[in-house]
A and B are shown apart, each in its own frame.
Chain A
Amino acid sequence: MNVLLEIEERLRALLTEEPYRLDVSEHQAGLLALLKTELAYACERNQSFGNYIQAWPIDYQTSKRIADLPFVPVGVFKSNPPLSLVEGSEITRILASSATTGQVPSRVVLDSATARRMTKGVMMIIRDFIGSSRRPYLVVDTPAALASNGELGARGAAIQGLRSFATEIICCLSADADGNLRLEGDKLLECSKRWKDAEVLVYGFTYVIWNHLVKPLQSAGVRLDLPNVRVLHSGGWKRLQQEAVGKEAFAQGVATTFGCSADRVIDFYGMVENVGVVYPDCDQGNKHVPAFADVIIRNELTLEPVSVGQRGLVQVSSVLPTSFPGFLLLTEDIAELIHEDDCPCGRRGTAFRFVGRAPKAEIRGCGNLETRRS
């Protein structure tokens, strides 16, 4: 059988399973063989990637655990052109990470099959947290973020990923000529009135929700009346840290603004390179790993997996992409391993908590030479 077809068939089966029913050992045993097949496929499709895999100090074909398989650091997706396993003509979309000023964004290429799996994966995860019904979808962003062709940023990708839950989509921000975001208050109040008793889905980047929705409404003394809302947000806390807004204060502020309980505000961790996978907080405040993905928290000194209660660098995995080698990715984020199978929320498998971005390395030596003489 054609390798790609074989992979496709196994992915189809995985994407019909409940995402959080397997314990850690079953889960990893199930993914190990598939990841090996995907690595072999990727080596065949991309000579450079094959060169990297060949140098890995452990032969991945004989590895007994996912932790020994060759991972790539996410930084490799900053290369131009982006790492790819498909011909240029097969690329339907490029996803770009939300790089901060002066940084190069990561870029990953999607073909139609990978894009389809990405949507399915996100849908399965979110369904487990908010249910499967379709509902009005309030996007705390501008309509431009809904553009569906060409290169898509992290915000756009997250917004798009939740479309399948929507009966209608309303964006409540607009941008002026300089790109400054502005809340469309009238539109929002009209939606609040119209959707009063309905289940409503809200999504926005964490700092966008806070700065462009919660703060303006708070200063105007306006509270919405949407008790059945589910507010999903992602994008990290870095910008809000400067304003000393923590997770709890954020959830409380958002809940007060929407007129719902704080447990309806769900933070999720995700990155464009980890295609089809997001990690929402469960009601215990933990993040879980779905059937088609894996997370290993690695000790920074040994790169070995840490034990429960320890922190380390996060390695995320996804078996869903076949358009780029994004199967096993070492991120620059730190997380803590909370449980293996025992989360009181009932979801099995690895449970972790995101701690933050690894602080920039402090290089102190007299050998630290940034610029060379010309």
Chain B
Amino acid sequence: MSDLIHLVDSVEDISRAAIQLRGVAVNKEMDPRTVLDLFERWAAALQGNGMEAVPGVAFFRLWLRQGTLKPILERELGQGSVDGDWREEGQAKLRVFPLGVVGHWPAGNIEIQPVLSLTCALLGGNTCLVRVPSRLLESTNQLMKKLVTVDRDGILTERIQLLSFDHSREDLQSAMARNVDGAMIWGGQEAVARVRALPFPHWTRMAVFGPRLSVAAMDAEVWSQPDERRSWCERIARDVWQFDQQACSSPQVLFLERGARGAIDNFIEELREAFRKENQAHPRREIQPALTSVICLARANWLLDNVANRAWFSPSPDWTILLGQGTDIPKPTQFRTLTVLLVDNLLDAIEKFDGSVQTLGVAIGNPEKEDALAQAAGRRGVDRIVKLGRMHVFGSPWDAMDLIRPMVRIVRYVPSRDQKIPAKQTSLSSRP
């Protein structure tokens, strides 16, 4: 067990951690500028020293930069919210206050997710109780150690309790739920359903991210251009490889608008080459045996189910391309298995989306056509429409939801007398 993550085995352990966090949340205010400054330094500390080996750390570094977070704060919480003061709105004054203790249940497949999740709550001035999934203990510890080095006064770290316990411990999960004012829940269907069913107090506010799946779409104009094809295929491969295609933003299927007869073979050849290259650059280090069976079975079933289907795959379970046609999204296999479906019109596929699709990665030649697809996708429940190759690059809103705002209260104050409250007078410094 790492030194920053506490292995807990009793309800009392969790209650103690929650009481300490509640005390800090109630008694110590922290202005957003302090948080932004510390995050900026955390980002710098994450540069080098082998930290790049932690998947997603490049994105996280970028996320922590003031240039990223300040606009998000201002968009979500209003202009001037970085100052942490009352701001005027008509006759009233508004100010952001934290919810209190925010519980975090990150997914077990994204290394940066525990820290990413807690940054959102910290920006709102909250304290954080985080259940770190067993697979992420090492990476979370590595990332948090860097925060400790820059946060020498413990301004942020005293607001964070990282806990480790078996996910099947209902008593501990429930204890955590009972002690939080906000909950940020990330993960697959089973995990999310289990957490949502915990005995949260009636006032707990929840922000749920996932489970979803994602899709890519490319029109014939783009993929039939020999000079552009390679770069687009490399972008798809990058999106497929990252997070081993287990993330809600991972493309599971690529809808490909039909083009000139015969040209599809050229496209597939480029895609295979891109997959081979990506695999060489980012080979898998281990795999559960049952997943190897799942991949092999997906390949076989695809080809046995329909003689018109085709497939290309490595002799190992490394990567798979399944080619067919149709507008329905097949059951995702994940683990670097991309289904390419030929369609006459991309809109036909998008019109069938059922709200399960989170991200649509696009490569469309004509901007007006792309606008129309984005419009249709938004209407059909898609939360993000982004350029292929950037399907995992998130910003706010995240899954069409704000990240910071759900974990704060915006207090409205109408003074009894018609006089202005001096801006700095009511604001406390970050430390007593």
Contact = CB atoms under 8 A, between A and B. Distances in A.
Interface of A: 47-52, 55, 57-58, 68, 71-73, 75-76, 79, 83, 300-304, 312-313, 330, 332, 334, 358-374
B296 interface: yes
B250 interface: yes
B303 A371 contact: no
A46 to B, nearest CB: 9
Nearest to A313: B289
A366 B107 contact: yes
Contacts of B292: 300-301, 303, 313
Contact of B210 (A51, A362, A366): A366
A357 B150 CA distance: 48
A47 B356 contact: no
Contacts of B316: 301-304
Given A301-B316, A367-B245, 7 more contacts: A55-B313, A71-B296, A303-B315, A364-B188, A366-B210, A369-B189, A372-B354
B8 interface: no
Contact of A48 (B190, B304, B313, B356): B304
A52 B284 CA distance: 25
Given A303-B317, A372-B356, A332 B290 contact: yes
Q: Which 9 A-B pairs have the closest CB atoms?
A: A368-B188, A365-B246, A366-B210, A364-B108, A361-B290, A358-B289, A365-B109, A366-B248, A300-B289
Interface of B: 107-110, 133, 135, 186-191, 209-214, 243, 245-250, 252, 284-294, 296-297, 299-301, 303-307, 309-317, 332, 334, 354-356, 381
A314 to B, nearest CB: 10
- The binding surface of chain A is classed by DSSP as loop
A358 B292 CA distance: 10
A76 B304 CA distance: 8
Contacts of B133: 364
A365 B248 contact: yes
Contacts, number: 169
A366 B356 contact: no
B293 A79 contact: no
Given A57-B313, A76-B300, A359-B288, A370 B293 contact: no
A365 B247 contact: yes
18 contacts: A52-B300, A55-B303, A55-B313, A73-B293, A300-B288, A300-B291, A302-B316, A359-B289, A362-B288, A364-B187, A365-B187, A365-B250, A365-B334, A366-B187, A367-B243, A367-B252, A369-B211, A369-B356
A334 B292 CA distance: 12
B304 A49 contact: yes
Contacts of A332: 289-290, 293
B239 to A, nearest CB: 12
Contacts of A361: 288, 290-291, 294
Contacts of B311: 55
B356 A373 contact: yes
Contacts of B187: 364-366, 368
A367 B300 contact: no
B276 to A, nearest CB: 11
B286 A301 contact: yes
Contacts of A49: 304
Nearest to A312: B289
Given A366-B210, A367-B188, A58 B315 contact: yes
A368 B381 CA distance: 18
Nearest to A374: B354
Contacts of A302: 316
Contact of A47 (B287, B296, B307, B310): B307
Given A57-B313, A72-B300, A367 B210 contact: yes
A24 B286 CA distance: 29
A51 B189 CA distance: 34
A362 B190 CA distance: 11
A15 B255 CA distance: 51
Contacts of B248: 365-367, 369
Given A303-B317, A373-B356, A366 B209 contact: yes
> Which of A75, A301, A366: most chain B Cβ within 10 A?
A366
Contacts of A358: 288-290, 293
Nearest to A50: B307
Given A76-B297, A300-B288, A372-B356, A367 B304 contact: no
A300 B314 contact: no
